[in-house]
Structure 1
Amino acid sequence: MLATLLAVAPPDTVALIPVTKAGLPDWLAGQSPETAAWLKTVGFAGDAGSVAFLPGGDGARALVGVSALDDLWAFAGLPTSLPAGSYHIDAALDARAATRAALGWALGSYRFTRYKKTDKPLAGLVWPAHADRGEVERTASAVTLVRDLVNTPACDLGPAELADTARALAEEFEAALDVIVGPDLLDRDYPAIHAVGRASPRAPRLIDLRWGNPEHPKVTIVGKGVCFDTGGLDLKPSSAMLMMKKDMGGAAHALALGRMVMMAGLPVRLRVLVPAVENVVGGDSFKPMDVLKTRKGLTVEVGNTDAEGRLILCDALAEADSEQPALLIDFATLTGAARVALGPDLPALLSNNDSLASDLLAAGTEVEDPMWRLPLWAPYRKGLDSKVADLSNVTSNGFAGAITAGLFLQDFVSKDTPWAHLDTYAWNSGTRPGRPEGGEALGLRAAYAVIAKRFG
């Protein structure tokens, strides 16, 4: 992605002149009648995303329609739509706009080519003056990590491969890594993770990465790592199983957020916890109405084996909470209910801390990575009551599924721990500028912005 951002401008670089629809008449006022006639002929009206190459002049130029100069996605469609070559932005951009232009270009250069190669070259952009290269590089690399992991099918990305990704991060940033595998999960008291993943020949595991000065504030990130979800014995229909390679999207976000924190060298004690499993059908599958032990000591009756994500998260959250971190965030592709309520673009945010929730919402607006808060509505907690265990993993009425999932997780986090749960889709259902169909980072940039502001 960053290979399309050029450090040195080649002599034949094409100038990209951004104009808004409202600003086009003012720009035309300073041009020749021939230029105005040409733009009328080609139908250029300044609509966002439109491009018109200009004839004549001292060098190659093209007008680019943008909604605003500081729109993150203003130039994001150009790496794949422009002819191959080198381009520079011919406009006075402040640091914010320049950084967003470079980041949008980088994100728009993403292609998943692991299984299907392409020879079509991408257009390159000269780094805009005043762009924050560090911000662009860590964000682009983190989003790429999420997209690559989510796009990779389960045949090549199981719990072991997810641990390998964490291991590569640990080696790159000199972090400590502990991976607890298979029966060792029982020995070290992670029984719910083991129960969900034990039926798969690809052993379940807990990935535990630590980085930073132990004296710094503790920031812990948890990510749901269900590398494939058949639904277990409560088997999904085939149509619902097609997208389940992305059920480790929460883990991808957690690892990517950890990458951003480490790349920036933030003064925090970072911990990333990823319970990694496959939820499959086998002779050792956990069953409906089983009662599972958890790390916190609470017992859980299994009302549905397809609500497995919260079962692995509860063990990881209990461990995370035991250290009383200054901030705890978990990411999970947890409920279809969140998608029904908010659609694919908006992660559902649930939090026990109003200040943290407000910061995340504000950051989401600021960096164009929005989310929407749902309440941890206490009266709904009664729906998780069980007659034989401390709680059930699902309600019987089916209402408010994203909220009741959050309420389930809240039972494993102390009231005094600032905690946010992001129920994210991790997927683009269609292609838009800078956002190709497939795996996507949703809520990642906002979460990083909050961590950097609070502790940076």
Structure 2
Amino acid sequence: MSLPAGFTASTDAALPLHVVGKSGFAAWREAQPAPVRAWLDAQRFDAGAGSAQSWADADGRVAGAVIGVEDAHDPLAHAHAPRALPVGDWRLASEMDDDARKALQLGWGLGCYRFDRYKQNNRPLPRLASDAFDAETFDLLAACARVRDLVNTPTEDMGPDELEAAARGIAQAHGAAIEVIAGDELLARNYPAIHAVGRASHRAPRLIELRWGDASHPHVAFCGKGVCFDTGGLDLKTSVGMRNMKKDMGGAAHALALAELVMARKLPLRITLLIAAVENSIGPNAFRPGEVIATRKGVSVEIDNTDAEGRIVLSDTLARACELSPDLLLDFATLTGAARVALGPDLPALYANDEQLARDWLDAGMRQRDPLWRMPLWRPYLRYLTSHIADLANASNTTMAGSVTAALFLERFIAEGTRWAHLDVYSWNDSDRPGKPAGGEAQGLRACYAMLKARAGG
């Protein structure tokens, strides 16, 4: 097993690292040598959450360290360690159960993450040493890093073509089948909504469909919003609103990373990954406010706002997924600012038409310390999407319930009887925090994997 940056299998020269909670600090402190106790007291160290303290031997060389955590089973509780400890190799010196050890390894990896494609950072980081790393934890770490890398990459290097290339690379690595429908072929194959949103870009819109798994296994479809850049279209965003719109393909990044994780772990599932990859640009043939566009399902949509484009490309994607009659249909999308207003940047908004599915995902989020929050599919709000000339409007002229109405729009394209959940993700950290560096972020992904693993019998 190859190890990510920040890890080593050699423990020969590794120094002892203690992990202590505040409640257990007094007992742990009493067990330490007198010079260590004196040093900790001089530094007023009390094992508060996010704290760290090292000490030296008689020759002035670093001899050990302790980090303070509030919840040893929360990966982010450990994520400050790589930035707070002296450079060197460290081995766990505390008694921890398996789940806590896995949380330490995952948190350490999240804390070591760097996006250095354009700006090199040669500052060395400490390494966690062990002869018993958990392979599944490293696959989870790779999935989180995949989301971060895809979202962090600027659009000139992460447009529809590059998103397709990433999907093809993953398909090849895991023996999956892949098909791409691009450009005007979308019209010929009845994906008019995806084409309408992406036609103004010099890079052709496309639907990416990846298939993997045994036909005898439960079938799960993953759909992702892949708007590689969103200008807002003719309803142009402000400069502030447009600044980080390279992240508008964050839903596709989540779906792609989740599919890769399921394949890497060889879960007994059959998966179909569907990504609508487009760029919402301005041009002579950009779709306009007031137009009525066709969709794959046959539902006509009046364009109230060209900046509500994600739900339009997802309409064809979800319709295609439902044609395959999956046992579960899950979609990920950076769909609304309204979800951020309601829940802030850290809590993805979960919508589901199946109570057990919602409960399973929420419970997995609590167990994995990867939280999300359920929002209501309050169907009376469909009145906000009334059109007088089409079956549905893509937005409304009210600021009320923006995240709910977006989810209700998507539900209109879900076939009756299909168990479906939609996650409205921010996919972004606005500032640096331990284990959550500014930039792209995976949200609800670990929880979703845990839910799928449990449902698959693992």
Q: Say which SS state the counterpart of residue 199 (structure 1) adopts.
A: coil
How far apart, in 1, do the equivalents of 2:207 and 2:62 lie? Answer: 57
How far apart, in 2, do the equivalents of 1:75 and 1:364 lie? Answer: 18
* Cα deviation 1:180-206 (Å, max 9, x = unaligned): 110000000000000000000011000
Contact residue 21 and residue 66 of structure 1 kept, 8 A: yes
| CA positional deviation for 1:31 | 3.3
Contact residue 98 and residue 128 of structure 1 kept, 8 A: no
Which residue of 2 is the match for residue 360 of structure 1?
361
Q: Say which SS state the counterpart of residue 75 (structure 2) adopts.
A: coil
Question: Counterpart of 1:337 in structure 2: which amino acid?
Answer: A
Which residue of 1 is the match for residue 244 of structure 2?
243
Residue 293 of structure 2 is aligned to residue 292 of structure 1: yes
Gaps (5+ residues) in structure 2? Answer: none
Contact residue 304 and residue 395 of structure 2 kept, 8 A: yes
Which residue of 2 is the match for residue 89 of structure 1?
92
Which residue of 2 is the match for residue 448 of structure 1?
449
Contact residue 193 and residue 277 of structure 1 kept, 8 A: yes
Question: Counterpart of 2:64 in structure 1: which amino acid?
Answer: R
Q: Say which SS state the counterpart of residue 226 (structure 1) adopts.
A: strand
Residue 28 of structure 2 is aligned to residue 6 of structure 1: no
Question: Counterpart of 1:117 in structure 2: which amino acid?
Answer: Q
* Cα deviation 1:116-141 (Å, max 9, x = unaligned): 00111121101375x5x222121011
Which residue of 2 is the match for residue 111 of structure 1?
114
How far apart, in 1, do the equivalents of 2:391 and 2:210 lie? Answer: 30
| CA positional deviation for 1:293 | 0.3
Question: Counterpart of 1:393 in structure 2: which amino acid?
Answer: N
How far apart, in 2, do the equivalents of 1:65 and 1:451 lie? Answer: 32
Q: Say which SS state the counterpart of residue 272 (structure 2) adopts.
A: strand
How far apart, in 1, do the equivalents of 2:453 and 2:33 lie? Answer: 48
How far apart, in 1, do the equivalents of 2:420 and 2:378 lie? Answer: 15
Residue 65 of structure 2 is aligned to residue 62 of structure 1: yes
Question: Counterpart of 1:5 in structure 2: which amino acid?
Answer: F
How far apart, in 2, do the equivalents of 1:31 and 1:142 lie? Answer: 39
Which residue of 2 is the match for residue 257 of structure 1?
258
| CA positional deviation for 1:147 | 0.2
* Cα deviation 1:211-270 (Å, max 9, x = unaligned): 111222110000000000000000001110001010000000000000111001111111
How far apart, in 2, do the equivalents of 1:28 and 1:193 lie? Answer: 61
How far apart, in 2, do the equivalents of 1:67 and 1:127 lie? Answer: 23
Q: Say which SS state the counterpart of residue 252 (structure 2) adopts.
A: helix
Gaps (5+ residues) in structure 1? Answer: none
Which residue of 1 is the match for residue 151 of structure 2?
150
* Cα deviation 1:259-312 (Å, max 9, x = unaligned): 111001111111000000000110000000100000001100000000000000
> How many percent of aligned residue pairs carry the same amino acid?
51
How far apart, in 2, do the equivalents of 1:117 and 1:322 lie? Answer: 46
Which residue of 1 is the match for residue 82 of structure 2?
79
How far apart, in 2, do the equivalents of 1:375 and 1:19 lie? Answer: 40
Taking the TM superposition and a 5 Å limit, the aligned residue runs for 1:426-437 are 426-437=427-438
* Cα deviation 1:131-160 (Å, max 9, x = unaligned): 5x2221210111111000000011111000
Which residue of 1 is the match for residue 390 of structure 2?
389
How far apart, in 2, do the equivalents of 1:223 and 1:51 lie? Answer: 39
Which residue of 1 is the match for residue 28 of structure 2?
27
Contact residue 144 and residue 257 of structure 2 kept, 8 A: yes
1:175 and 1:44, CA in 2 relative to 1: closer, same or farther beyond 3 A?
same
| CA positional deviation for 1:62 | 1.0
| CA positional deviation for 1:28 | 2.3
1:128 and 1:429, CA in 2 relative to 1: closer, same or farther beyond 3 A?
farther
**Deviates further, 329-338 or 214-223:** 214-223
Q: Say which SS state the counterpart of residue 240 (structure 2) adopts.
A: helix
Question: Counterpart of 1:85 in structure 2: which amino acid?
Answer: G
**Deviates further, 270-279 or 25-34:** 25-34
Contact residue 208 and residue 276 of structure 2 kept, 8 A: yes
Which residue of 1 is the match for residue 332 of structure 2?
331
For these two proteins, the number of residue pairs brought into alignment is: 453
**Deviates further, 414-423 or 66-75:** 66-75
| CA positional deviation for 1:5 | 1.9
Residue 401 of structure 2 is aligned to residue 400 of structure 1: yes
How far apart, in 1, do the equivalents of 2:32 and 2:161 lie? Answer: 61
Taking the TM superposition and a 5 Å limit, the aligned residue runs for 1:170-249 are 170-249=171-250
Taking the TM superposition and a 5 Å limit, the aligned residue runs for 1:153-168 are 153-168=154-169
How far apart, in 1, do the equivalents of 2:78 and 2:156 lie? Answer: 35
Q: Say which SS state the counterpart of residue 396 (structure 1) adopts.
A: coil
Which residue of 2 is the match for residue 309 of structure 1?
310
* Cα deviation 1:371-419 (Å, max 9, x = unaligned): 1111000110122121111100012222100000000000000231110
Contact residue 354 and residue 420 of structure 2 kept, 8 A: yes
Contact residue 8 and residue 130 of structure 2 kept, 8 A: yes
How far apart, in 2, do the equivalents of 1:134 and 1:295 lie? Answer: 41
Q: Say which SS state the counterpart of residue 65 (structure 1) adopts.
A: strand
How far apart, in 2, do the equivalents of 1:54 and 1:81 lie? Answer: 13
Contact residue 53 and residue 85 of structure 2 kept, 8 A: no
How far apart, in 2, do the equivalents of 1:172 and 1:104 lie? Answer: 26
Q: Say which SS state the counterpart of residue 19 (structure 1) adopts.
A: strand
Residue 351 of structure 2 is aligned to residue 350 of structure 1: yes
Contact residue 13 and residue 60 of structure 1 kept, 8 A: no
**Deviates further, 222-231 or 375-384:** 375-384
Question: Counterpart of 1:381 in structure 2: which amino acid?
Answer: L
Which residue of 1 is the match for residue 439 of structure 2?
438
| CA positional deviation for 1:33 | 4.2
